[in-house]
Amino acid sequence: MAHNSSGSRKRVDSGVGSSERSIIPLPLISTESLSSIDSNATAPNLEGAGRTVGLLYDFLGAMLEDFLNRVAQRRGGGPEAIASCIRNLAIDYYQERVANFRERQNLNVRHRFTSLSRSLTKEEVKSLNKLCKKLFKLTRSPNLSIQLKALEEITNLALDYPLLRQILAHTSYERYLEPKIKGHDVLLATSKMHNAVKESKVHDFWYQWSLILKYGWDRPGPFGNNAHEIVRNFTHRASVLLWFVWFFVSS
């Protein structure tokens, strides 16, 4: 009897059947998981078998882009070819002056053409506007090299030829003054082009009065406008400007 009671008491003390002592709390541990990248990814900065394929695609794409640019240049669709056509048309309207000794020594002299040799017809102005529009459209090209070259050509044309500077400063081209590619080189080139074109608007009034002195009061100028129309346009702009000044001052 004593043996059986001690055995049963041992089993009770062991607590095998107790549910409270059998539950052992485990701490929860959170770990950061890294997303795995497929080895077939073609990005050039990723490791894997696809990296070589990506580099091959980039190389072939650059070769194809360069080939298409050369084809467009040969067919007259590049910035340099269009700018050359514009210069060939504009050079016929100007009398080239013979540079004196001082100007030949100064390499920064840009204005080789001082006065128009004749007035422009409507067809000639239309042709120049068409070519300038094509050149402006290239400033929105997805190709960075074409975009930079087009901006450079527009800047040079605006600085070299006062006639082209007036055409390039037309309000229909203002939407092209915002660059499509937000890069440092593009922003700098766009700023140069904007300043070169904007300068013509500042000096446009004095240029119009010089046309009156050159072509007379009733003779048409290079754009077919006579002095009466020039004065009327200036009077309208001046009245609008004075109205805005009066409105802000009075308010």
229 and 171, same structural domain?
Answer: no
Q: Does residue 42 lie within any of the structural domains? A: no
- What's the CA gap between 211 and 165, in Å, rounded? 15
In a domain, 73, yes or no: yes
Q: Which of 29, 30, 12 is nearest to 21 (CA)?
A: 12
Domain membership of residue 176 (yes or no) is yes
Please tell me whether residues 85 and 158 are part of one structural domain.
yes
Residues of the chain with pLDDT under 50: 1-3, 7-19, 34, 96-112, 202, 217-227
DSSP one-letter code for 48: S
Specify whether 57 is located in the same domain as 147: yes
Residues 180 and 72 placed together within one structural domain of the fold: yes
Residue 178 lies in a domain: yes
Say what the pLDDT of residue 190 is. 76
Report how many domains make up the chain. 2
244 located within any domain: no
Cα–Cα distance for residue pair 234/204, rounded to 1 Å: 10
Pair 72, 183 in one domain = yes
Q: Residue 247 domain-assigned?
A: no
Both 57 and 162 in one domain: the answer is yes
What is the pLDDT at residue 236?
58
The pLDDT, as a whole number, for residue 103 is: 44
Other beta carbons within 10 Å of 78: 21
- What pLDDT, on a 0 to 100 scale, did the predictor assign at position 189? 79
Instruction: Say what the pLDDT of residue 12 is.
Output: 46
Residues 172 and 216 in one domain: no
Considering the domain architecture, whether residues 142 and 161 belong to the same structural domain is answered as: yes
What is the tens place of the pLDDT at every residue in 102-140? 444 444 444 445 555 566 778 888 888 889 888 888 888
**Is residue 80 a part of any domain in this protein?**
yes
Q: Phi, psi (5° rounding) for residue 61?
A: -65, -40
pLDDT of res. 97 = 44
In angstroms, rounded to a whole number, what is the distance separating the alpha carbons of residues 68 and 93?
Answer: 34
Q: Domain span at residue 221?
A: 204-235
Spatial separation of the C-alpha atoms in residues 183 and 151, rounded to whole Å: 13
Regarding whether 122 and 65 lie in a shared domain, the answer is: yes
Same domain, 145 and 218: no
177 and 189 share one domain: yes
Residues 125 and 224 in one domain: no
The verdict on residue 126 lying in a domain is yes
Burial 201-228 (b: 16+ CB within 10 A, else e): eeebeeebeebbeebeeeeebbbebbbe
